[in-house]
Structure 1
């Protein structure tokens, strides 16, 4: 169970790093640029800890799927980016893929 906590924290830090990447203005702003380094470093470290107990394919599917969906939502809510039908359908397909991968693991 601790592995899933590490995975959730990895996702949180990845979202922070991605948000700071947008705020950094192409690494022209110092504090957001430092936030990028901290966010992604922590995310990959925590992801590596989760991989001690969670299979790579499952952990990465959850990490990237939740990260993609949450990043699209953050882009819409925080950065006022447009949320098109294609974006919504794409995110739903990613979520469906993560669910299918996890179902395969449960049955194994």
Structure 2
């Protein structure tokens, strides 16, 4: 259940970030409302996950996967380009999350 809560927090964080771009600096009301609602839901689920997952581990996973998924949204939805350095950095983030989850005793 703890990783379901964390996964939902990540999904709503990505939704909030994506609609923040669409809100054009909070000048469009509908995307702006989605940003606020998505982040409220995101932090609610993150708070539930933090009852069972250590803060450092949960935040690393939340931030890392949020970066990866937000970058994917920027490429596929907003048609933005990632250069080689950005791709390598994202790969390092994924490797870090995998190492933390499979090899760190902190995450158990």
Q: Which residue of 2 aligns with 1:104?
A: 104
How has the CA–CA distance of structure 1 residues 83 and 42 changed in structure 2, closer, same or farther, with 3 Å as cutoff?
Answer: same
Please give the alpha-carbon distance, in whole angstroms, between the structure 2 residues aligned to 1:35 and 1:48: 20
Q: Deviations over 1:41-72 (max 9, x none)?
A: 11111001001111111111111111000111
Equivalent residue pairs, number: 107
Q: Over aligned residue pairs, what C-alpha RMSD do you find?
A: 1.4
> Once structures 1 and 2 are overlaid, which stretch shifts more, 78-87 or 94-103?
94-103
Asked if 1 retains the 8 angstrom alpha-carbon contact of 2:2 and 2:49, the reply is yes
Please give the alpha-carbon distance, in whole angstroms, between the structure 2 residues aligned to 1:106 and 1:27: 39
CA shift for structure 1 position 106: 7.0
Unaligned residue ranges in structure 2 (runs of 5+): none
Q: Deviations over 1:65-86 (max 9, x none)?
A: 1100011111000000011111
Q: Which residue of 2 aligns with 1:10?
A: 9
Q: Which residue of 1 aligns with 2:73?
A: 74
